[in-house]
Structure 1
Amino acid sequence: MTSYEGILLGMGNPLLDISAVVEDDFLNKYDVKLDNAIVAEDKHVPMYEDLISNYNVEYSAGGATQNSIKVAQWMLQIPGASSYMGCIGKDKFGEELKKSIKAAGVNVHYLEDESVATGTCASCVVGGERSLIANLAAANCYKSDHLKKPENWALVEKAQFYYIAGFFLTVSPDSIQLVAEHSAANNKVFMTNLSAPFICEFFKDVQEKALSYADYIFGNETEARTFSKVHGWETDDVKQIAIKLSQWPKVSGTHKRITVITQGPDPVVVAEDGKVKKFPVVPLPKEKLVDTNGAGDAFVGGFICQLVKGKPIEDCVKAGCYASNVIIQRSGCTFPEKPDFK
């Protein structure tokens, strides 16, 4: 009998999602492209107030890794199976985040920084497609000193599975390194995500280092193609890229690496042992699509929920597809009280 308590640990950038349906003009005003994920620049700063003042906004606990952990926890329905670390501010948004993530059953150990505001992410939705603009603020202030505290490192030692999305590479690569090394040394499972084209482009070196520890690499087709371009692979073929990623040099040889690339409504591509399998996704009629925010994160959460139970890849992908299908029919990365995944 596996003890599931604390079996899964995530680290990342905890953000409060501020979601609203906007029009193309709003995106153009702030020079934002649809279906992209970026970090806020000066020109984006007024946008948050604009959203809150002029649109019907909804708040939810966000940040890529936190979303995935939240979904895995929801799918597992075992209180305390997952833990999460990241940095928030001591403010009302921070309180919102704590309330929301604790209600989801995740054991959070936030670093709370008094000098910076809690990070927020504007999720602007046009025709069901989302664009994310993250103002990291406190999330950018995570320090590995917090990770090394005995009560926090205990979470690392307890966990058997780790998931840290690529966004955290911009914040605390040394924290990622500590967890990755622990995972490799103890034959545990370390998972990461390509996360966004800008990570593949501008954080190439730290990303390469993290990937060399990864037993599972997740990503979507845009990120995969960007990675291929940055590394001069001269192919746009997602299947080829997935194979090359799975064969990327690996620090620990205990587990062979598996690459999982989602392609929106097209089949999920899974590469291992130089071979590719494709899994169709559950089709969703256009009129049921509410908001793609969190779809990729939810896929990872669903996938991980079956992985920690020792289920085969087919079941992991099926659970991932189920979770993202639930999420895109709702606003933000939210879900009903209980999953009905079979």
Structure 2
Amino acid sequence: MAQDLRGALVGFCNPLLDISAVVDEGLLAEYKLKADDAIMASEEHIPLFQTLMDKYQAKLLPGGSAQNTLRGVQLLLPEDSAVFFGAVGKDENAAKLKAAADKAKLRTNYMVNPEKPTGTCALLITGKHRSMVANLSAAESYDFSHVSAPENWADIEKARFYYITGFFFAVSPKTIEAVAKHAHENNKTFTMNVSAPFVAEFFTEQVEKTLPYINILFGNETESDALARALKLGTSDIKQVAKRVADMPRAGSRPRLVVLTQGAKSTVVASSDCDDVRVYAVSPISDEEFGDSNGAGDAFVAGFMSQYMREQPLDKCIEAGHWLAGQVVRQIGPNYPEGELKFVPSASYTATLEKL
């Protein structure tokens, strides 16, 4: 008998319309940006958004990290498996975001702020690298009162899995706390993504407060370095960071997984209930096939969660993550391929086990 996954996953993040363009490194230097980084826009970055439109033939793409992830999850699962929460404006850009979600059959539960425009994110692509600058606007107005309303909290009650990005610490830490505690008290699965180095650096207290409730923590190599510094782990080795974070105090007895990707390099997985660290190889993609890396991390989580929610073994979850990320990096922007998406696991996909 197939699992009933209706409403099984709820996600929270900032729904943003991406302004994506291929640029030169000089533009990064002009705005003091780093490749493969993600920051919040300050006043000095505001002209950048129009510059991308005027001079770099920018494309407008539906974005927002968790909304990208949930679109991918929904494409791989039965209809009505996931619902996304976030705040948008009452404008054309919000309609574009909803249309992209509708196309993937992802249900959205937006809080609409008629006073602010829908948020945007500048995506500056340089070769195989990308730099993100987010202007949250309406997204930063999301308020706990929205999800706590009975008709919306019903989605939280129904779900069994939750995914929230670290970006949301800057918006509604009260929402994160409430959902994390609900998951813990009802033996459900609470997952988060570090999302960007600045999250660990500037929201260290909130990360430490939330970590005991996190059952699965996702991140990448630059976020691993930031976590190591913020949490004073005494090492920058990604395998040791994964294991030490996995072993930090937990609320309850459920084990914690820490999953750290490294782009085209291997993915590192540590668990609080295992002494070994698992290292999974990533299948290479040729330069001819490569589009850009934008959205690859979101797609990895989508592939992983699509199998984890079906109670598949860890090896299959990681393989699905790598597979879906590989599909996305063959596109331009955080886009999934047209047509039906179907993950077919291999018979021999496993990790190497390494002792620290």
Per the alignment, residue 351 of structure 2 pairs with none
Secondary structure of 1:326's counterpart equals helix
Is contact 1:192–1:211 with CA below 8 Å preserved after alignment? no
CA distance in 2, matches of 1:251, 1:184: 7
Per the alignment, residue 265 of structure 1 pairs with 264
CA distance in 2, matches of 1:256, 1:19: 39
Secondary structure of 1:72's counterpart equals helix
Aligned residues: 340
Per the alignment, residue 301 of structure 1 pairs with 302
Per the alignment, residue 217 of structure 2 pairs with 217
Of 62-71 and 39-48, more deviation after overlay is shown by: 62-71
Letter of the 2:9 partner, please give it.
L
Per the alignment, residue 181 of structure 1 pairs with 181
Per the alignment, residue 26 of structure 1 pairs with 27
Deviations, residues 191-215 of structure 1 (Å, cap 9, x unaligned) = 0011111110110011111221100
Per the alignment, residue 350 of structure 2 pairs with none
Letter of the 1:189 partner, please give it.
T
CA distance in 2, matches of 1:18, 1:54: 12
1:283-294 mapped onto 2 (5 Å cutoff): 283-294=284-295
CA distance in 1, matches of 2:270, 2:233: 17
**Correspondence 1:127 to 2:90:** no
Shift of 1:288: 2.0
CA distance in 1, matches of 2:268, 2:22: 31
Deviations, residues 247-306 of structure 1 (Å, cap 9, x unaligned) = 1111132x2101101011111111012321111111111232211111111101110000
CA distance in 1, matches of 2:242, 2:312: 21
Secondary structure of 1:327's counterpart equals helix
CA distance in 2, matches of 1:144, 1:315: 35
Secondary structure of 1:284's counterpart equals coil
Secondary structure of 1:112's counterpart equals strand
Is contact 1:319–1:341 with CA below 8 Å preserved after alignment? yes
Letter of the 1:226 partner, please give it.
A
Secondary structure of 1:212's counterpart equals helix
Of 23-32 and 188-197, more deviation after overlay is shown by: 23-32
Secondary structure of 1:288's counterpart equals coil
Is contact 1:14–1:66 with CA below 8 Å preserved after alignment? yes
Per the alignment, residue 339 of structure 1 pairs with 341
Q: 5+ unaligned residues in a row in structure 2: which ranges? A: 345-356
Secondary structure of 1:52's counterpart equals helix
Of 10-19 and 230-239, more deviation after overlay is shown by: 230-239
CA distance in 1, matches of 2:236, 2:340: 39
CA distance in 1, matches of 2:57, 2:151: 40
Secondary structure of 1:235's counterpart equals coil
Q: 5+ unaligned residues in a row in structure 1: which ranges? A: none
CA distance in 1, matches of 2:290, 2:36: 14
1:12-161 mapped onto 2 (5 Å cutoff): 12-76=13-77, 78-161=78-161
Per the alignment, residue 171 of structure 2 pairs with 171
Is contact 1:19–1:123 with CA below 8 Å preserved after alignment? yes
Letter of the 1:330 partner, please give it.
Q
Q: TM-score, structure 2 length as denominator? A: 0.93
CA distance in 2, matches of 1:166, 1:4: 25
Shift of 1:167: 0.6
Is contact 1:327–1:334 with CA below 8 Å preserved after alignment? yes
Secondary structure of 1:287's counterpart equals coil
RMSD between aligned residues = 1.1
Q: TM-score, structure 1 length as denominator? A: 0.97
Q: Which has the higher contact order (CA 8 A, sep 6+)?
A: 1
CA distance in 1, matches of 2:282, 2:157: 35
Shift of 1:103: 1.4
CA distance in 2, matches of 1:81, 1:192: 18
CA distance in 1, matches of 2:233, 2:185: 31
CA distance in 1, matches of 2:75, 2:125: 24
Letter of the 1:180 partner, please give it.
A
